[in-house]
């Protein structure tokens, strides 16, 4: 596919739509309005679109100080935000045994489709509404890395920027090809539409697949927690590539058939950015952004790791893959040990003793 040459001038506000999506409630309204204020301060002339996938705000104030739809509307007008409601989609059952919260992938899909149909600028930042950037520097990073260079696996006119958190390495702990982070995407609006136009809604039978079907025998302890046939990130990212490359295979979340192709497609079509580098802020996961654990660092791919793997020769790739797998096995054993009843019986008393020795303060 021919690529669009890199622009010589920086991307301006007038070229950008910022599409925020997600649910709004009395609990998170102040956070959402704070984020909208930040976006408007950083991008005075950008198009701001807020797509609401669910909402429990009352029409009127139930008591003094409580947020309402009217209060939200005033702030949306102040920040010049176009607000839309996405067609309702019911939440699905939790996708993992250790993550009992609802699977909201269909709400995300509905909101993304609604928002991308409404945006009118050349570039779009599609982002969850509780995540905000405190700097414009992601534009400079994107400008440097947006060229797809006519790679055989490239299907977009320019690369799409995504975050490294939950862009998973399919060769370590959660061996999930095409698990590309969906926290945000930045790129040409038409490229983003190309992804989301191919995404259907996840059926209940897929969401609860491994409540009835046996997990693949190759599944490790981390993977045995899954109920869903495909993770939400895979459900969203895979269809457009399957359409372009029919030989690709992803029959279940840890299907190894197209691991190599997943890495090549990631390298050709995306730029994976460090969220700390672009000053990303999200209350719920800020600890992960500020200081990644060894576990998260092993599971998630950085752009450096992607480049290292893609540029390696076959023998070097094999060595790198074996190193990732050894580290994964070592970390999996450590996780299993820490989850054991014996460890918990020993660790908790030791922790209490340690705190007692430290004393107050």
Q: What is the CATH number of domain 13-311?
A: 3.90.550
- H helices of the chain, in order, are 29-42, 69-78, 105-118, 137-145, 189-196, 204-207, 232-244, 259-269, 286-290, 294-299, 303-311, 314-338, 341-358
- φ, ψ of residue 131 to 5 degrees: the values are -110, 135
**What pLDDT is stored for residue 26 in this prediction?**
84
Residues of the chain with pLDDT under 70: 1-9, 58-69, 335-345, 347-348, 354-355, 358-361
**What pLDDT is stored for residue 2 in this prediction?**
44
d(CA 167, CA 128): 16
Q: Which two tokens stand for residue 309?
A: 């793997």
**What pLDDT is stored for residue 249 in this prediction?**
98
CB 79 within 8 A of CB 37: yes
Q: Which two tokens stand for residue 310?
A: 């893609």
**What pLDDT is stored for residue 8 in this prediction?**
47
Q: Which two tokens stand for residue 194?
A: 């190309």
Strands 81-85 and 47-55: parallel
**What pLDDT is stored for residue 332 in this prediction?**
75
């Amino acid at each position: 596919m021919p690529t669009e040459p890199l622009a010589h001038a920086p991307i301006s506000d007038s070229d950008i739509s910022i599409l925020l999506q997600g649910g709004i409630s009395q609990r998170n309204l102040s956070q959402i309005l704070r984020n909208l204020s930040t976006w408007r301060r950083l991008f005075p002339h950008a198009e701001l679109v807020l797509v609401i996938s669910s909402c429990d705000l009352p029409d009127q104030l139930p008591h003094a100080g409580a947020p309402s739809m009217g209060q939200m509307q005033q702030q949306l007008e102040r920040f010049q935000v176009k607000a839309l409601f996405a067609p309702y989609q019911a939440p699905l059952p939790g996708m993992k045994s250790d993550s009992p919260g609802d699977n909201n992938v269909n709400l995300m899909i509905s909101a993304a489709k609604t928002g991308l149909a409404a945006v009118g600028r050349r570039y779009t930042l599609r982002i969850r509404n509780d995540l905000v950037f405190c700097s414009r520097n992601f534009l400079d990073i994107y400008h440097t890395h947006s060229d797809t260079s006519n790679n055989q696996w490239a299907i977009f006119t320019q690369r799409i920027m995504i975050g490294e958190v939950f862009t998973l390495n399919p060769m370590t702990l959660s061996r999930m090809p095409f698990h590309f982070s969906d926290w945000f995407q930045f790129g040409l609006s038409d490229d983003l539409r190309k992804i989301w136009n191919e995404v259907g809604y996840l059926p209940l039978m897929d969401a609860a697949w491994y409540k009835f079907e046996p997990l693949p025998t190759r599944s490790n302890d981390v993977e045995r927690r899954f109920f869903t046939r495909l993770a939400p990130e895979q459900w969203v990212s895979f269809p457009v590539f399957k359409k372009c490359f029919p030989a690709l295979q992803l029959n279940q979340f840890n299907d190894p058939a197209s691991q190599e192709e997943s890495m090549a497609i990631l390298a050709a079509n995306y730029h994976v950015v460090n969220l700390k580098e672009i000053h990303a802020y999200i209350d719920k996961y800020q600890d992960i952004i500020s200081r990644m654990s060894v576990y998260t660092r092993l599971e998630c791919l950085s752009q450096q790791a992607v480049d290292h793997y893609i540029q390696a020769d076959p023998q070097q790739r094999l060595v790198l893959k074996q190193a990732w797998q050894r580290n994964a096995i070592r970390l999996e054993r450590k996780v299993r040990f820490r989850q054991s009843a014996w460890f918990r019986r020993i660790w908790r008393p030791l922790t209490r003793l340690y705190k007692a020795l430290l004393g107050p303060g």
